[in-house]
Amino acid sequence: MLESILQDLRFALRSLRHTPGVTLTVLVTLMLGIGANTILFSVVYEVLLRPLPYPDPGNLVWIGESGNSKRAGYDLVLTSDIADWRAQSRSLAGIAALDLGPETLTFHGESQRIWAVGASESLDRILGVPPAMGRGFLPEELTLGGPKAVLLSDNLFRKRFGGDPAIIGKSIALSGQFYSVAGVLPASFRLPLSASASESPSEIDVILSAPIDPAQSRASGALARIKPGVSFSTMRAELGTILETSKKERQPDRELRVLPLHERMVGKSRLMLMVLWGAVTFVLLVACVNVTNVLLAKSAARSHETAIRVALGARRIRLVRQFLAESLVLAIAGGLAGLLVASVGLRLIVQEGPLVIPRLRDATLGWNVLVFTAVVSVITGILFGIVPALRASYSRPEETLKLCAQTISISGWRRRLHDVLIVSEIALTLALMAGAGLMLKSIWLISSTSAQYAPERVLSMRLETSGKAMRFLDESISHIESVHNVWSAGAFVTLLTEAVVPREFLPFTSSNELMETTLVTPHYFQAAGVRMLAGREFTHQDAEGTPLTAIVNESYVRRYGGVALLGREIRSDAARTGGTKPVAIVGIVSDFRRRPDSDSVPQIYMALAQHFVTASTSVYVRTSDDPLEIAGTVRKIVTRDGAVSVSNIQTLEEEMSTQIAPRRFQTALLTSFAALSLLLALVGIYGVLSYTMGARTHEIGIRMALGGSRAQVVRMVLVGHGKLVFAGLGLGVLGTLSLNRVLSNLIYGVKPTDASTLAAVCLVLGTLALIASYLPARRAAAIDPVVTLRPE
């Protein structure tokens, strides 16, 4: 058996060496198809399949609540509910309230914006991962009013503090407050959790000791560990029962949300990666169809040889083995070459991919990826080799040998099989191209929407200040507006507040709404590019101690009763003085989306000077020229007081571009896969038609000898292949429409059934496919019938 297998392999290598053009074409096709799948599998394994680096990661859960807050895109939890769960739950081994958000790290006079999570319990006890250096939080550090401590991520420890262990025990300033560095987290520690509806950090830089504060009613969520032996459903039912009991007294519209921590971390990345993996699977299928077509054509050319071997007594099973040996040799060689492609492609994706995809930076070509590539190579070799092997083995020597080798043509069944494969190839390619086209149009619409704000002429920065520094902030903005080329400047703070709208203006029964409220300074709307539609803007008369005023956007007006709201009062708790206060609506502005790929939502603007704010403040500066040219001047103005620090200086265009980076990343990859599929399809159509035209030279020679012209031959070929192309386009359109639900989750501002995009894709693919058919047809029509029919 071993000797027989070795003979098959030697025969396969000899056969492939005799047809170098076919061999090279197949190897390149397989290299690209298998390489693309290897790249995506390495990313999918790291992000979706690899367990979290914690003991018993399946027992870690993320707990949140949703109610009216869901309309604003937030997933919050009441701190009082966390306290109830901690006191009453018998299913949890531990639970910690978490607050996620940006902080400004100040060390040795330099400021840096980082992502932080405040934890009410020591996460090393919940996650089971002790610090790599130093210690965890002490009980007194988790007590309200006690000392504050911080754990640094390994990345921040090495990049910001040079990996110096002496930083442990020292104090660092985070947003104006001093924290003692307790320890450094392990390099493998990951806790990438979404900070808000519009921002998603790739990794957490620091963990702060943040005991539950009764004055703070909401937290970003809760992290908990289930006790061993307790099922997920039992734990969730118990927490729901505790929540139902508390609902009788407060917050009547709350829904419990419990997710495994891994699912929470993955978030929307799962759908994106699954779609991309489906796309590369399509690419591999197109590659397999290509290779199958080429091998079928090659087997037709070798039918005379096969017939002689059968006539001399060769067993059919041996012929199948020899043909499969060729396929497997090609597939394994293509897989090895695909690993080289994957190593380069994965490095590019890891370096250039968006940071919001969790654990993307950890993706490597490990042993599991090598096993995957080997399995895919073998399966691919069998998949594209079995049909040509079976059909070639069923040769009828008594019929084939009646003709000389030069007159053998492709039989009817081979021609029909070629036709089916070409139609399938075109349909798969169209589905990929349509998806890429829809996403490209979506990105174009997002960019067009953003362009109306002229974000390229707006400088954006974040200041760490407080309500006590409001006078300084006003003075700084006045100085900024006096700088040459500056048109206007404004500061803003975004909060999640509870608003009470007059019932007579509501289209529903509940009057309490958790919604996004932005506190702004005068001239903010001009700086952001927001149009005033009715009423007035904020002025310096809207100051502390004056009646509270508000401006609402178009979406708010559409939802809550039209322009009749202008001049009416709502109630809001934005003042943070306990309970809601009356607020008069004095103006209406156009919708403004700081995240360009999000839908417009009802939004309230209030005067920043009327509220005490301790959060970070953002500033927009609109200029008539390149805003980065005045960045240094603006920094000097706002940092002349040592109590204010600046971070994250960039243009608004860069800020918006960062927010849609995952969408651009997915679009770029899908477009690359679609282009690769298109290339493979065109090469396949050209190669197969070249082979079939070579096999039909006898037929074409007879047609031309009987008076047929070259134009008629070309027309005959194009009409026949044109029918296949149109059939493939029709199947591809139907396939695209069947993916309506999946595509609708990936695109923005365009429908999956967008007729213009589908028509454009069909036109491009159909034209290129016909061109690929025309070239072999024209060459076949140029044959000399005398030379072709000479063997007769």
- 341-392, pLDDT tens digit by residue? 999 988 888 887 776 677 788 888 888 899 999 999 988 888 887 777 776 6
- Please tell me whether residues 498 and 576 are part of one structural domain: yes
Buried b vs exposed e over 700-718: b needs ≥16 C-beta within 10 Å? bbebbeeebeeeebbeebb
- Position 461 in a domain: no
- Please tell me whether residues 293 and 432 are part of one structural domain: yes
pLDDT at 445: 82
pLDDT at 312: 63
Whole-number Å distance between alpha carbons of 283 and 288: 9
- Position 459 in a domain: no
- Please tell me whether residues 7 and 140 are part of one structural domain: no
Whole-number Å distance between alpha carbons of 668 and 348: 12
Q: φ, ψ for residue 454 (rounded to 5)?
A: 50, 55
- Cβ-contact 307, 397 below 8 angstroms: yes
C-alpha closest to that of 762 among 737, 725, 735:
725
- Position 59 in a domain: no
Per-residue tokens: 686: 């050209």
- Please tell me whether residues 623 and 474 are part of one structural domain: yes
C-alpha closest to that of 440 among 168, 766, 192, 749:
749
- Please tell me whether residues 723 and 669 are part of one structural domain: yes
The residue whose two tokens read 């009409």 is: 719
Decide which of 592, 608, 643 is a domain's last residue. Answer: 643
Per-residue tokens: 475: 């003075």
- What are the average pLDDT values for consecutive 10-residue runs of the chain, which has 792 residues? 72 75 83 90 89 86 65 60 86 87 74 81 84 89 87 89 88 83 86 50 80 71 89 89 67 70 81 84 85 72 63 68 82 90 88 75 87 90 77 58 49 67 86 87 80 81 63 79 88 72 49 71 89 88 84 84 71 59 86 77 84 73 87 82 69 81 83 87 76 64 70 78 86 84 77 87 89 77 62 56
- Please tell me whether residues 16 and 133 are part of one structural domain: no
C-alpha closest to that of 36 among 327, 282, 272:
282
In DSSP terms, which residues pair with 62 in a beta bridge?
Answer: 223, 259
Whole-number Å distance between alpha carbons of 208 and 119: 6
- Please tell me whether residues 440 and 489 are part of one structural domain: no
Decide which of 172, 203, 230 is a domain's last residue. Answer: 230
pLDDT at 507: 45
- Position 691 in a domain: yes
Q: What is the CA radius of gyration of the chain?
A: 33
- Please tell me whether residues 639 and 665 are part of one structural domain: no
Query: Which amino acid type is present at position 405?
Result: A
pLDDT at 42: 92
206-209 and 110-119: which strand pairing? parallel
- Please tell me whether residues 416 and 524 are part of one structural domain: no
- Please tell me whether residues 629 and 751 are part of one structural domain: no
- Position 241 in a domain: no
Looking at 597-748, list the stretches that DSSP marks H as alpha helix, in order from N- to C-terminal side: 631-638, 652-659, 661-695, 697-705, 710-738, 740-744
Q: What is the SS3 assignment for 60?
A: strand
Q: What is the SS3 assignment for 512?
A: strand
In DSSP terms, which residues pair with 605 in a beta bridge?
Answer: 518, 551
- Cβ-contact 590, 530 below 8 angstroms: yes
Q: 144 burial class (0-12, 13-18, 19+ CB within 10 angstroms)? A: exposed
Count other C-beta atoms under 10 Å from residue 667's C-beta. 21
- Please tell me whether residues 281 and 177 are part of one structural domain: no
Q: What is the SS3 assignment for 117?
A: strand
Contacts of 60 (CB under 8 A, 6+ apart): 52, 54, 126, 127, 223, 224, 225, 226, 260, 261, 262
- Position 730 in a domain: yes
- Cβ-contact 487, 209 below 8 angstroms: no
- Please tell me whether residues 684 and 576 are part of one structural domain: no
- Position 545 in a domain: yes
Domain count, the chain: 3
pLDDT at 103: 76
Q: What is the SS3 assignment for 104?
A: strand
Tens of pLDDT, residues 93-105: 889 888 877 777 8
Per-residue tokens: 569: 């009062």
pLDDT at 394: 60
- Position 252 in a domain: no
Domain range holding 572? 466-643
pLDDT at 618: 84
For 185, which DSSP code? -
Q: φ, ψ for residue 197 (rounded to 5)?
A: -70, -20
